[in-house]
Chain A
């Protein structure tokens, strides 16, 4: 499989990365190089093979559903580019 320029733009939008007209051709080339490299996986017979979900046989850890941390909103927002009263500020989302 390979991607065309329209698909490159669609993926970029899905990934929320702005691309310029100059970016598209080289991104297309690089993505297609990777896609052609992974093409060889089609040779493998995977009939009936379980897809891996956990690399080590782990049992999900459980704990009491209680509050163990928190109470420092100022620390949570201290690295944010724009805040007000311990809220993150973003452009208006709902018209």
Chain B
């Protein structure tokens, strides 16, 4: 990193500085700012430049460089006075699901285009109160419904990862040529931005796997906290009993630092718990000696790829070598979690998304009467996947079908949660599973005919949302095509600390995954 950027420096030195500053971990950047090795403005400027040069990836849907520089300047003053807060001067990307005061917030949907919230979500408020800097809003699947970022009204995000020997490269006029890979979803913009060094960390949300699956696809770390750990206030709602916000970061420690700032009690969210937020970073180096780690046999699904199987065995061996006791456990209702989810989540979505009616905010298509106004507005404003889920939700909640579908799904949810409770009651501290059934796939490769093909991406992650538990995805290796694969650790309710401790053991054993070089640069 060396000295500060001075006027009259040569272009090569500038590029080097941008790369050096954007390639720091969040913890390293925090320490560098504190030691005054570089300034908050320099750190933010480097990120702004990296974001501008990566527009072809489509990770950001809105850049806020002026706001970022103003926030960085305020941080600089704080640091000078010795009043730095936990995230002072740290540039972050914000998923476009979090309402940001005065900054357009769309949830990746046409129906919310132009919506400027007059309030700030609790999560982002907490981050700004801790000194963080906002670089902009990140692309996502529309209303967080998707596993590939392809349902976004702002077009898909291109993963910074390429298959070995792939033809993808920077094309002319800021486009990208060749077969693109998806970064996963719904937090695809968050995962791509973190992996491509376009922010030091990002906020994300997870309803069925939307933090953990994109983290696994991009070689980054993501944690979905326990339901109720992070406030949902000011975060656009998808399925309220499953939605939970968490961070995506480049390593376990950075994710721990982020979660501590994102989480808080909140009187504005009645499901948010009044429990103090632990110092998660302190748990990172704790190790797994003496812990009991469960391996659930039901996750060994039919047709599982040998690569995933090997990865899982490797992860088990790493934890054992670090002193954990490994036990086989049984979660008998695992296979029913995904179908039950596709009743519960659309049912809640159909109710939550009723508010988009063309009257109070967002898009409006006029009609001859109020019903036609609603119907035309919603037909024009929602994309195909969102319409599909609202309709499934409407159907399973409709008279005559409610008991057969919705009540049964909620009964099965009770059984899924009970499975986990029995395993934890037997003394197991955390559970290790694969994060996804495969590595990232290409844009347009999945789900065009049968939506269920795409839904199967969440087969290992969705159980955790159904049971309200915390889950961490950590990179553990590469597949034969050179693409990252992740493992998932599932914890007891409100025991995120054990996940950070065990996640660090896997990260140390696997070695840091080398993130892709900036081939996309404009």
Q: Which residue numbers of A lie inside 8 Å of B, CB to CB?
A: 1, 3, 7-8, 11-19, 27, 30-31, 33-35, 37-42, 44, 46, 49-56, 58, 60-61, 63, 72, 75-82, 88, 90-93
Kindly state the separation between the CA atoms of A7 and B391 in the bound complex, as whole angstroms: 11
Shortest CB-to-CB span from A82 to chain B, Å, is: 7
Contact of B371 among A16, A63, A77 (CB under 8 A): A16
Kindly state the separation between the CA atoms of A74 and B119 in the bound complex, as whole angstroms: 13
Q: Determine if B197 is an interface residue (Cβ-Cβ < 8 Å).
A: no
Q: B455 — which chain A residues lie within 8 A by C-beta?
A: 37
Interface string of B379-402 (1 = CB under 8 A from A): 100100001101111110010010
Per CB-CB distance, the 6 closest pairs between chain A and chain B, nearest first, are A55-B468, A51-B410, A79-B361, A81-B364, A18-B379, A18-B375
Interface string of B411-448 (1 = CB under 8 A from A): 11111010000000000000000000000000000000
Q: Which residue of A lies closest to B386 (CB)?
A: A17
- In the complex, how many residue pairs between chain A and chain B have their CB atoms under 8 Å apart? 169
A38 engages B391 (CB within 8 Å): no
Contact of B270 among A17, A41, A50, A61 (CB under 8 A): A61
A90 engages B241 (CB within 8 Å): no
Q: A1 — which chain B residues lie within 8 A by C-beta?
A: 401, 404
Q: B415 — which chain A residues lie within 8 A by C-beta?
A: 44, 46, 49
Q: A51 — which chain B residues lie within 8 A by C-beta?
A: 407, 410-411, 413-414
Interface string of B109-123 (1 = CB under 8 A from A): 000001111100000
Of B37-45, B51-59, B159-167, B352-360, which stretch is located at the interface? B352-360
Task: List residues 340-363 of chain B with CB under 8 A from any CB of chain A.
Answer: 340, 342-343, 350, 354, 357-363
Q: Determine if B170 is an interface residue (Cβ-Cβ < 8 Å).
A: no
Shortest CB-to-CB span from B39 to chain A, Å, is: 36
Q: Determine if B226 is an interface residue (Cβ-Cβ < 8 Å).
A: yes
Q: B412 — which chain A residues lie within 8 A by C-beta?
A: 41, 44, 46, 49
Kindly state the separation between the CA atoms of A50 and B418 in the bound complex, as whole angstroms: 11
